[in-house]
Structure 1
Amino acid sequence: MLYINGEWRKSNCGDTLEVMNPATGQLIKSVASGGREETREAIECAKEAFKTWKKATGEQRGSYLAEAVKKMKEKADDIAETITLEMGKPLLDAKREVAGAISYLDWYAEEAKRIYGETIAASHPDKHLMVLREPVGVTAAITPWNFPSSMITRKIAPAIAAGCTVVLKPAPSTPLSAIKVFECFHEAELPKGVVNLVIGPAEEIGDEMTENPDVRKLTFTGSTNVGKLLMRKSANTVKKVSMELGGHAPLIVFADADLEAAVQGVLLTKFRNAGQTCISTNRIYVAESIANEFGKKLAQEVEKLTVGNGIEEGIDVGPLINSLALEKVESHVEDAIRKNGKVLCGGRRVEITKGHFYEPTVINNAHDDMKISTEETFGPVAPIFTFKDEAEIIQRANHESYGLAAYCFTNDLGRGHRMVKELEYGIIGINDASPIVPQAPFGGIKESGIGKEGGKSGLLEYLEEKFVSINMGN
């Protein structure tokens, strides 16, 4: 169902979208599918609601978010199961995602009260100078399938905390999770038109969002290529944009690192969600002196991972989202093997029902001529590269185009600080494979994105500054 102006409804033309389970290939459910017309209606409703919502106090807006937190906690298990059914991640990981989604609502429920302006020292005794921060306006949000609940709240929570109204388009693969989240907003009794949900064709809905002058802000999470397209289309109306785009994260292991911790770091950053995350490790750089030992330890742990339908107990790695994703992973592994890569474990499809499964894979002897060294694999494949010294690894770890996340394992405090300065990434974890928290900014540099999500920075993305100069003289 679509959710427009506080009401659940079908599309005007009656079209539907089939939602498939990637673990079984079976139909889960059909949902209403709208297009330009429904998106335009949602934008008009959001524009009307903005007139009142922008005047609400931060405490009032925060109270609605706090109520949404309660509703999501009540429905947490149901939402998690829906995530697993429509995108495949193991149920335990889905529950972690829902907890993360709630944490963003909870954080911005409080942060809504903390939108501050400032007073500027005047250059003339008769003047008083101020900067006010006001909501940017109607916001269009486009979210991906790999985190179908937390990506929604990470965008919507700061937007409505700032006083904006929102029209959201979820990925066509995972609309059911979005519906579950919007049920919580509905039950929290947000005023009509503050949040709206449109489901349907990406190009048709995206074109209306980018071309409609009533949309003043566009926020998107997805591939770099699509992000560039949306930016070009938004240019004609000069919209404010924030883009969380592709990544190609390096994970560096120095000879002095705690190898057990580094191995666990790879397991967490590479194989969670079957490697289908934008901050997933893509290149593992290991000091030459410990590369063989590290490879053996990692392969031993990876072989323990259980592949299967995420709804079942004891599953560590679920399916890839679709057949195209599976084919891409296969092509990267085949390319690596042709170029003398050595498969330490995995390297094959897993035939489970009609799902899109691939074995968790470790490849040794990886080098810079392989596709996997420059293209985002988005799958459970861990290539191990080697390096000689710090100067070499700084040069190789920094990617020409991507700059989202990087990880480094070392017990040398000075080296850790040097890596923080030299690595060209928006997020860096030093001996920390899980750095993401709601109170901190999330986002990349270069072609990995524009703007931030999370923390105070995420709130500022939905605010405009208004400078006021008051002449107090006679």
Structure 2
Amino acid sequence: MDAHYDFLYLFINGEWIAAGERDTARVVNPATLQELGRVPLATAADLDQALQTAERAFDVWRNTVPAERARILKDGANLIRERSEHIAGLLTLEEGKPLAESRDEVLRAADYFEWFAEEARRIDGRVVPSNRRGVQQLVKKQAIGPVAAFTPWNFPAITPARKLSAALAAGCSVIIKPGEESPATALALARALDDAGLPKGVLQVVFGVPDEVSKTLIASPIIRKVTFTGSVPIGRLLAARAAEGVKPITLELGGHGPVLVFKDADVERAAVEGAANRFRGTGQVCISSTRFLIQREVYDEFVGHFVSATQALKVGDGMQPGTQVGPLANPRQIAKMEELVADAVARGAKVLAGGKRVAGEGYFFEPTVLADVPMEARVMHEEPFGPIAVMMRFDQLEDGLAEANRLPYGLSAYAFTNNARTALDVGDGLEAGMIGINQYRIVSTELPFGGLKESGIGSEGGAEGIEFYLTNKFISQV
């Protein structure tokens, strides 16, 4: 395993720019607390140069024929696959997730570039018959313009890949600001695209104080489109900034994924796979299952299997063989887990597994199962975004749906049943953008990724993903 950590840069105007005299931010391995490197923070002059470059590069890239855009994206995908072992190592070092999860994420990131390479060749329009003789009416789809993209630290390969692949396929230039806590992975993707022949300036990678960078980029008249993945409060803030310039924005925000387990389901499978899903990525996954709503008749059976599966998980450094649950990303996450558990217990909840920080180095927290949590507890309303699972009972389908849909989130939801009528009813009744029935794996390159309500606006992935980087132009010609 190639486990060395890359040097960190800004990537502006086709140049890899070291920190020099710029301010920097520490990048820390969350498993060992050792410093991995320092990421340079862009200055106001850097951001201005990135904007001017993005504007110039857009004219080049949007006029590049789709077949050539597709070739470059496919070559980039192949380079990501060739370098996947190294990139996965970077990802685990800086984000903490087990190496097996990192490998899977990097390969799926490559898949997005390949998928949208093909979508670039399928951008089309239509001829609309006119009610007037001698008039030709065309509807064309064209790239919307330079894009400002903002991605978080928890999926540093696949989240940038979703945004970059679709925007670049559409013909847009992109300035992306990945999370400063996991910068090397995104830079490795940019390196692959650069080596694949992406014209200089079409993609630029900047880091910095998030509020300052977002304010500068979104306010610029050069930026025509904004895309953000992260928390609901920051999503609201960026949406307001985009609205000031009447700029479209795609938002993929938080969730608090409900799982409905009916008495006719394969209860053991739902529980064992549910524990694996809940604690994947140490629970720092926006589409993760968090609230398990179990029909009363099988509640004890489900909880027994779930707790056993949880207690069998191996917590440790993601670089070590056999690790299934890595560290949390930072001390803020540790503090939040401790606060949520303490609040729930103080209000009467029971801790069936875990519940506390793991002693020693690193930001490790035990996979935790809570039961009998009162409705007023914070964890019943706030996305935990960490290794906490909540067990709840319900009686009838209507009760389960009411609780599943109670919160303002609507990203992911799951249900387990062997009754076809029930499956149809929950599929129709759950208020979520992505629903898994009798399975937890619901993400695929060919399918849209996005939520409802406060979980976001728009979709990424699938045929729908490219639409948000295109505009419709109607041309009527005599």
Class of the TM-score when normalised by the shorter of the 2 chains: over 0.9
1:406 aligned onto 2:413? yes
> Is 1:246 aligned with 2:254?
yes
Aligned to 1:275: 283
* Structure-2 residue corresponding to 1:331: 339
Indicate if the aligned counterparts of 2:19 and 2:39 stay in contact, CA closer than 8 A.
no
Alignment of 1:298-447 (within 5 A): 298-353=306-361, 355-447=362-454
Cα distance per residue 1:178-199 (max 9 Å; x no partner) = 1211111121121011100111
Q: CA deviation at 1:13?
A: 4.3
Residue 80 of structure 2 is aligned to residue 72 of structure 1: yes
Given the alignment of the two structures, is residue 39 of structure 1 paired with residue 47 of structure 2, yes or no? Answer: yes
Does the Cα contact within 8 Å between 1:140 and 1:167 map onto a contact in 2?
yes
The answer to whether the Cα contact below 8 Å between 2:250 and 2:457 also exists between their aligned partners in 1 is yes
- Partners in 1 of 2:11 and 2:224 — Cα distance? 21
Q: Does structure 2 retain, via aligned residues, the 8 Å contact 1:291–1:386?
A: yes
Is 1:256 matched up with 2:264? yes
Which amino acid in the other structure matches residue 432 of structure 2? Y
In the other structure, the counterpart of 2:130 is 122
Provide Cα deviations, 1:277-318, integer angstroms capped at 9, x if missing partner: 111112110001111111111101111101111111110101
Greater Cα shift, 47-56 or 391-400 = 391-400
- The correspondence of residues 75-90 of structure 1 with structure 2, limited to 5 A, is 75-90=83-98
What is the CA-CA distance between 1:11 and the residue it aligns to? 5.0
Tell me which residue corresponds to 1:93.
101
Choose which of 183, 187, 203 in structure 2 pairs with 1:175.
183
Q: CA deviation at 1:333?
A: 1.2
Contact 2:267 2:302 in 1 (8 A): yes
- Alpha-carbon distance, 1:350 to partner: 0.5
Q: 2:27 aligns with which of 16, 19, 40?
A: 19
- Deviation, structure 1 residue 10: 2.9
Structure 1 residues 88-119: Cα deviation after superposition (integer angstroms, max 9, x where no partner):
10111111110111110111111110001112
Tell me the distance in 2 between the aligned counterparts of 1:127 and 1:282. 57
Please, what TM-score do these two structures have when normalized by structure 1?
A: 0.97
| Rounded Cα–Cα distance in structure 2 between residues aligned with 1:22 and 1:35 | 27
- Structure-2 change in CA distance of 1:191 and 1:423 (3 Å): same
SS in 2 for 1:70: helix
| Distance of 1:62 and 1:11 partners within structure 2 | 33
Distance in 2 (alpha carbons) for counterparts of 1:374 and 1:291: 22
Paired position in structure 2 for 1:297:
305
CA distance in 2 between partners of 1:78 and 1:344 (Å): 38
Q: 2:207 aligns with which of 179, 194, 199?
A: 199
Kept in 2: contact 1:35–1:205 (CA 8 A): no
Instruction: Say which is worse superposed, 239-248 or 332-341, in terms of deviation.
Output: 332-341
Q: Verify the 8 A CA contact 2:256 2:288 in the aligned structure 1.
A: yes
CA shift, 1:12, in A, is 7.2
Correspondence 1:465 to 2:435: no
Partner of 1:132: 140
TM-score computed with the length of structure 2 as normaliser: 0.96
Stretches (4+) displaced over 6 A: none
Q: Quick one: distance in 2 between partners of 1:162 and 1:216?
A: 13
Contact 1:11/1:38 (8 A) holds in 2? no
Tell me, in whole angstroms, the C-alpha distance in 2 between the residues paired with 1:390 and 1:431.
16
Q: Distance in 2 between matches of 1:347 and 1:234?
A: 40
Residue 331 of structure 1: CA displacement?
1.3
In the aligned structure 2, how far is the partner of 1:369 from the partner of 1:241?
34
Asked whether the 8 Å contact 1:268–1:433 carries over to 2, the reply is no
- Tell me how far apart the structure 2 counterparts of residues 212 and 182 of structure 1 sit (CA, whole Å): 23
Structure 2 letter corresponding to 1:469: S
Distance 1:419 1:160 in 2: 37
Q: How far apart, in 2, do the equivalents of 1:317 and 1:245 lie?
A: 23
> Which moves more between the two structures, 8-17 or 111-120?
8-17
Structure 1 residues 186, 386: closer, same or farther in 2, change over 3 A?
same
* 8 Å Cα contact 1:83-1:94 kept in structure 2: yes
SS in 2 for 1:461: helix
d(CA) in 2 for partners of 1:218, 1:10: 26
What are the Cα deviations for residues 218-273 of structure 1, in whole angstroms up to 9, with x where unaligned?
11000010011011112221112101011111011000111122113312331000
Paired position in structure 2 for 1:190: 198
Contact 1:65 / 1:106 at 8 angstroms: preserved in 2?
Answer: yes
Consecutive unaligned residues of structure 1, counting only runs of 5 or more, are: none
Conserved 8 A contact 1:402-1:446: yes
SS state of the match for residue 357, structure 1?
coil
The alignment covers a number of residue pairs equal to 470
CA distance in 2, matches of 1:364, 1:135: 50
Q: How far apart are the structure 2 equivalents of 1:61 and 1:118?
A: 22
CA contact (8 A) 1:168 1:197 kept: yes
For the residues of structure 2 that align with 1:62 and 1:252, how far apart are their CA atoms?
Answer: 41
- Please say which of residues 258-267 and 152-161 is displaced more in the overlay: 258-267
Work out whether residues 126 and 139 of structure 2, in 8 Å CA contact, stay in contact via their aligned partners in 1: yes
Amino acid at match of 1:105: F
3-state DSSP of counterpart to 1:348: coil
**What secondary structure does 1:468 align onto?**
strand
The alpha-carbon deviation at position 452 of structure 1 amounts to 0.6
Contact 1:63 1:109 in 2 (8 A): yes
CA RMSD, Structure 1 to Structure 2 (Å): 1.2
Deviation at 1:201, TM superposition (A): 1.2
Gaps of 5+ in 2: 1-8
Q: Is the 8 A contact 2:348 2:374 kept in 1?
A: no
What amino acid maps onto 1:327 in structure 2? A
Task: For residue 258 of structure 2, give the secondary structure of its aligned residue in structure 1.
Answer: strand
| CA deviation map 1:45-68 (0-9, x unaligned) | 111011111011111100000110
